[in-house]
Amino acid sequence: MSDMSEQEARLVGHLAEMEEDEGLELAKKMLLEEGADPMRVLELCRAAMDIVGKKFEDGEYFLPELVLAGEMLDSIGAIAKPLIKSAPGEEPRKLGKVLIGTVHGDLHDIGKNIVSFMLDINGFDVKDIGIDVPAAKFVSEIESYRPDVVGLSGFLTLAFDSMKETIATIDKAGLRKDIKIMIGGGQIDETVRAYTGADAFGVNAVEAVSLCKGWTGVNA
Q: Which residues of the chain have pLDDT under 50?
A: 90, 220
Return the closest-CA partner of residue 117 out of 88, 84, 161: 84
pLDDT value for 49: 79
Are the C-beta atoms of residues 65 and 55 closer than 8 Å to each other?
Answer: yes
Return the closest-CA partner of residue 118 out of 67, 28, 199, 42: 42
Q: Note the CATH number of domain 97-215.
A: 3.40.50.280
pLDDT value for 155: 79
pLDDT digits (tens, 9 = 90+) for 155-206: 778 899 999 999 999 999 999 998 999 999 878 999 999 999 999 999 888 8
Measured distance CA(200)–CA(208) in Å, rounded: 9
pTM for this prediction: 0.68
Are the C-beta atoms of residues 36 and 84 closer than 8 Å to each other?
Answer: no
- Per DSSP, 103 falls in state B
**Alpha helix stretches (DSSP H) within 86-134:** 110-121
Domain-by-domain residue ranges, the chain? 6-85, 97-215
Domains 6-85 and 97-215 share a fold: no
Are the C-beta atoms of residues 182 and 152 closer than 8 Å to each other?
Answer: yes
pLDDT value for 47: 84
- Per DSSP, 18 falls in state T
Return the closest-CA partner of residue 115 out of 188, 31, 172: 188
Q: Note the CATH number of domain 6-85.
A: 1.10.1240.10
pLDDT value for 220: 47
pLDDT value for 86: 52
pLDDT value for 43: 81
Strand partners, 167: none
